[in-house]
A and B are shown apart, each in its own frame.
Chain A
Amino acid sequence: MDASLGPSPLSRARFLRSFTHSLRLLLRDSSLLIAFGVAVAFVGIAVLYPLVATLSRAFSAEGAAVLANVLARPVFHRIILNTLALGLTVATAGTLVGFLFAWVQVRVAAPQWIKRFIHTAALVPVVSPPFAVAVAAIVLFGRNGLLTYQLFGLRTDIYGLPGLTLVMTLSFFTVAYLTLRGLLYGLDPSLDEAAANLGAGRWHQFRTVTLPMLLPGIASAFLLLFVEAIADLGNPLVLGGNYTVLATRLYLAIIGEYDLTAGAVLSVLLLVPSLALYLLQWRLATSASVVSITGKPSGRGRLITDKRATIPLVGGALLIAALVFLIYGTILVGAFVVSLGVNNALTLRNFEFVLVGYGAKAIIDTTLLSLLATPVAALLGMVIAFLVVRGKFHARNALDFGTMLGIAVPGTIFGIGYLLAFNTPTEVLGITVLPKLTGGAAVFGGALAIVMVYIIRSTPAGLRSGVAALQQIDPSIEEAAVSLGGSRPTTFRRIVLPLIRPAFFSSLIYAFARSMTTVSAILFLTTPQTRIMTQQILNETDAGRFGNAFAYVVILIAIVLVAIGLLSIFVGTRTGAEREAA
């Protein structure tokens, strides 16, 4: 209300009335207030506080000097250009591959097994650490590559931009594929039919109807890939060679030079394009989803059967899918031989190395911490989604945005932010609210910080799927439950949660897979007491012990797959809402 009119007695009375009104509203729904408080506190502490710490270090007097130095030196111009170039190539290639896969999946007449094959190929990268592909690529296409040298006698250089583009495209195109596939399924085929009815041929339909409708979705996938590419640390570390990008320079600043100020400054340089593009993507994605809802889908439309079109399309997709399987096949085989390409004798030594000593602890620690983070992240995602969709307060958009920062901000930046924010106990008004979370002598050997990072990286996906699910549910269902005498928490537990069970289930899976495979955000947070598998894989790769790295990857993927299987047994199918639909 107009509380800002000034201190006249009348407006003060109005202000008081509106204030007591809001207060009564909040007190009446204390459960909502508590949920909101918990969500805000978590986002504030785990997401915003580290970012603020990074920013304030970067913009301190010391930081300003570093920034001036960075902006003046040509080597940093090179690094920034490298970063943008990598983002551009990966986003372009990834969007093209994603589009090809989605198009073949939805619009092309092809045998079902081919479609299933390419669909599986698109999903495999989700359950593996992002740089596993890079390691396999070195074995296959490197200077001594199985394919390039030993088969064709070529001395190729996989290190650098072309190699990075190849492996990052194959690791990240899944997101483009899933986005565009969803949009293509959502497109009303009667639009194409209308165009055909008016005399447009296949190609003309594609150019004048389908493509313009998909454009926001394509742009959104492109931007998402761009952000993911410039944020990635694992692949450039393994395969970058002399091609330095911001993320690797940042890593060097922290691990090599232990210069947190330089790290903070580089973080800001990386943060600005990431956030800007992410926001642009968000706007596009919202407009894209509006476009796709054009009346009821009326059947599937005609599939493309013209051999001149299907053969190159299906052939291209099959080739890429085959490449994906070749790479993961390499990982699997590489785990069971002494040194793939050099000594191909079968052995279990790699697994022996991984499963005893260091490796065992890393496996247990990583799995345990991921298991801790998974339910928290999924539940938090659902609760925040509920607040965002059903809440009536203005702060809900801020909460949504704050939560999404967890994935929009490159993981490396969170790594630095956590170092800056939590290297000493956190105090509010002289009272310690959090103990020291990172570095030496951190509480639980830094495990708490790692779990927090796992949670903030996974909650955004849960939030989005929760929002999508809740928007499908008529709010009067909840009102009915409340008017029958149920409190808000009872209604959430007994009505809402069962109805959004599929979304909850998928965010559990996502959170576990994401946590197990996270690299960039936790590299700075591991301590001798807490070992994380992805870091061990990186170490083994660095030391050239590819066999051990492959064994780790195989075990990691196996754990994720087993967890997904167990989850679907215990959560997915007992009384899932999907059964009610039948």
Chain B
Amino acid sequence: MSELQDLLVLEHVTKVFESREGRNVVAVNDVSLSIRKGELITLLGPSGCGKTTTLRLIAGFELPTRGRILLEGQDIAYLPPNKREMGMVFQSYALFPHLSVFENIAYGLRLRRLSKEEIEQRVRTFMALVNLTGLEQRKPAALSGGQQQRVALARAMAIRPRVLLFDEPLSNLDAKLRVALRAEIRQIQQRLGITSVYVTHDQSEAMALSDRIVVMNEGRVEQVGTPEEVYHRPATLFVADFVGRANFLPVEVLQLENTHAIVQFAGKRLCTPAHPDVRPNKPAVLMVRPEAIRLTSHALESNDALDGVVRNVAFLGHYVEYELTWDQHVLSVEDESLPGRLFRQGERVRWYFDPERAFVLPKR
């Protein structure tokens, strides 16, 4: 990727906080990232992984202990947040409760001393964009959660920010609204081509929204990749485990063939896609996603299938979730939901998977 396309660059950024007891806590540990013009990149990770701190470093609410933050090649690490031209959408909406919807959106424009007509016009444009036309004079308290977050979005976009920052903006909304609003955010972001950094701990949100996902853990970047890469080709065991659900099965790596490895699994030889760091005779695990596993009735003979016993069943409508016990292991399986086909607890079944849908990862 050429330098020109990278709008925002983090170089070896580290942030150390001092805890109340006086100990140093490394919240962000040597993070380097490049964010391209017009893309939406998501910082994904469990709570405490440093994703919000990274976002706040970009916004300027925190100062890096070490490292540089470059916006269009200029170091902004010490530029105050009000000089950065970055819009931010907060988890708690952070609307000004004493100002009307119109005045909330106009706030940043008035600070920029735009003419009255221009403010009026721009507020109307962005209110229309987020489907809020007609609510100009309402106070935030008189809006629903979804409407409040639309106001916050319009307010952040109205200043035409160089980068738009999202701090878990949907996590206070109910599930249905969350899905609807994330689609809307994605549409608007693509239409306007706003470079965006989005923090979330919700992996489906990250998948649905992002051009690229940055998976973080304990202050470090575990992987940067497209949603597809992150899900099917995780860089580390942590990513495999955190993004989606995964079964980890014991394998022995025999030899490598291009992108694949020949492995020994349950007495059989399989050829499966492999992580580039996998080496023969080095410890490795086989990742198989629950939806890659197929079940058949125990009565049917099959050479490839293994025996298992249903330990738990949860019928979820569009699919059925099983827990199988197999050779000391407990496997998660997501099986198709077909009328008349439901395995019972304690029932013996056979299970198998397509080796192409599995992935070998080095242990540690």
Contacts and interface: CB of A to CB of B under 8 A. Distances in A.
A105 B107 CA distance: 44
A193 interface: no
B63 A24 contact: yes
A486 B82 contact: yes
B243 interface: no
Contact of B82 (A1, A485, A495): A485
A479 B89 CA distance: 10
Interface in B142-180: 152, 155-156, 159, 165, 167
A487 B83 CA distance: 9
Contacts of B139: 580
A480 B88 contact: yes
A296 interface: no
Nearest to A483: B88
Contacts of B107: 481, 484, 486
Interface stretch (B92-100, B187-195, B212-220, B305-313): B92-100
Secondary structure of the A side of the interface? Answer: helix
Contacts of B96: 477, 480-481, 495, 499
B98 A484 contact: no
Contact of B111 (A1, A28, A490, A581): A490
Given A28-B80, A580-B139, A476 B94 contact: yes
B112 interface: yes
Interface in B115-163: 139, 141, 152, 155-156, 159
Given A25-B63, A580-B139, A483 B91 contact: no
A482 B82 contact: yes
A483 B98 contact: no
A112 interface: no
A581 B98 CA distance: 9
Contacts of A485: 82-83, 85, 108, 111-112, 159
Interface string B337-362: 00000000000000000000000000
A29 interface: yes
A474 interface: yes
Interface residues of A, number: 27
Q: Which of B61, B82, B95, B156 has the most CB of A within 10 A?
A: B82
A21 interface: yes
Nearest to A499: B98
A273 interface: no
Interface in B49-77: 59-61, 63, 65
A575 interface: yes
B90 A24 contact: no
Contact of A479 (B79, B81, B98): B81
A581 B97 CA distance: 8
Contacts of B16: 1
Contacts of A29: 80
A440 interface: no
A577 interface: yes
Q: Which of A477, A484, A495, A581 has the most CB of B within 10 A?
A: A484
A581 B141 contact: yes
B84 interface: yes
Given A490-B111, A498-B98, A479 B80 contact: no
A487 to B, nearest CB: 6
B94 A480 contact: yes
B94 A499 contact: no
Contact of A482 (B63, B81, B97): B81
Given A25-B63, A28-B78, A581-B141, A479 B111 contact: no
Contact of B94 (A24, A25, A477): A477
B109 to A, nearest CB: 9
Contacts of A476: 90-92, 94, 167
A487 B112 CA distance: 12
A488 B60 CA distance: 13
B108 A484 contact: yes
A488 B61 CA distance: 12
Contacts of B87: 483-484
B98 to A, nearest CB: 5
Interface in B277-293: none
A499 B61 CA distance: 21
B94 A484 contact: no
Question: Which range holds the interface residue count of chain B?
Answer: 35 or more
Nearest to A2: B24
Given A484-B111, A485-B108, A24 B78 contact: yes
Contact of A577 (B80, B94, B98): B98
Contact of A580 (B78, B84, B98): B98
A104 B83 CA distance: 56
Contacts of B108: 484-486
A208 to B, nearest CB: 34
A267 B78 CA distance: 49
B335 to A, nearest CB: 42
Contacts of B98: 498-499, 575, 577, 580
Given A476-B92, A479-B61, A484-B87, A499 B80 contact: no
Contacts of A28: 63, 78-80
A278 B92 CA distance: 37
B44 interface: no
B86 interface: yes
Nearest to A484: B108
A481 B61 CA distance: 12
Interface in B7-24: 16, 24
B316 to A, nearest CB: 33
A219 B97 CA distance: 37
Contacts of A21: 63, 65
Contacts of A581: 141
A577 B92 contact: no
B80 A483 contact: no
Interface in A529-582: 575, 577, 580-581
Given A484-B107, A484-B155, A474 B88 contact: no
Contacts of A477: 94-97
Q: Which of B83, B91, B98, B152 has the most CB of A within 10 A?
A: B98
A254 B98 CA distance: 52
A481 B59 CA distance: 12
Contacts of A1: 16, 24
Contacts of B97: 477, 499, 577, 580
Contacts of B65: 21
Contacts of B24: 1
B63 A483 contact: no
A486 B91 contact: no
A474 B91 CA distance: 11
A332 B167 CA distance: 61
B92 A474 contact: yes
B86 to A, nearest CB: 6
Nearest to B63: A25
Nearest to B97: A580
Contacts of B112: 485
Contacts of B165: 483
Nearest to B84: A483
Nearest to A479: B61
A1 B86 CA distance: 30
A29 B79 CA distance: 10
Interface of B: 16, 24, 59-61, 63, 65, 78-88, 90-92, 94-98, 107-108, 111-112, 139, 141, 152, 155-156, 159, 165, 167
19 contacts: A24-B63, A24-B78, A28-B79, A474-B92, A476-B94, A480-B90, A482-B61, A482-B80, A482-B82, A483-B59, A483-B84, A483-B88, A484-B87, A485-B83, A490-B111, A495-B96, A499-B97, A580-B97, A580-B139
Interface of A: 1, 21, 24-25, 28-29, 474, 476-477, 479-488, 490, 495, 498-499, 575, 577, 580-581
Given A477-B94, A479-B88, 8 more contacts: A476-B94, A477-B95, A479-B90, A483-B86, A483-B165, A484-B87, A485-B83, A580-B98
The 6 closest A-B pairs by CB, nearest first: A484-B108, A476-B94, A480-B94, A476-B90, A483-B88, A485-B111
